[in-house]
Amino acid sequence: MGRTFFVGGNWKMNGSKKEIKELVGAWKDADTDKNTEVVIGCPAIYLDLLSNELRSDWKVAAENVYKKKSGAYTGETSVDMAKDCGIEWAILGHSERRDIFGETDEEIAEKCAFALENGLKIIPCIGEHLEERENGTTMDVCAKQLEAMAAKIKDWTNVVVAYEPVWAIGTGKVATPQQAQDTHKDIRKWLEDNVSADVAASVRILYGGSVNPGNCAELAKCPDIDGFLVGGASLKPDFTTIINANK
Q: Is the Cβ–Cβ distance between 155 and 202 less than 8 Å? A: no
Q: For residue 238, what are the contacts with CB-CB under 8 A and spacing of at least 6?
A: 213
Angle formed at CA 241 by CA 236 and CA 247, multiple of 5 degrees: 160
Residues with Cβ < 8 Å from 167, sequence gap 6 or more?
Answer: 128, 129, 130, 133, 173, 209
Given the residues 63, 103, 164, 184, the one annotated as active site: 164
Contact (Cβ atoms closer than 8 angstroms) between residue 60 and residue 42 = yes
| Active-site residue, 94 included | yes
Which of 94, 103, 128, 132 is catalytic? The answer is 94
Strand partners, 89: 61, 121
Told to judge if 164 belongs to the known catalytic residues of this protein, a careful annotator would answer yes
Q: Which amino acid is at 146?
A: L
- Residues with a catalytic annotation lie at 94, 164
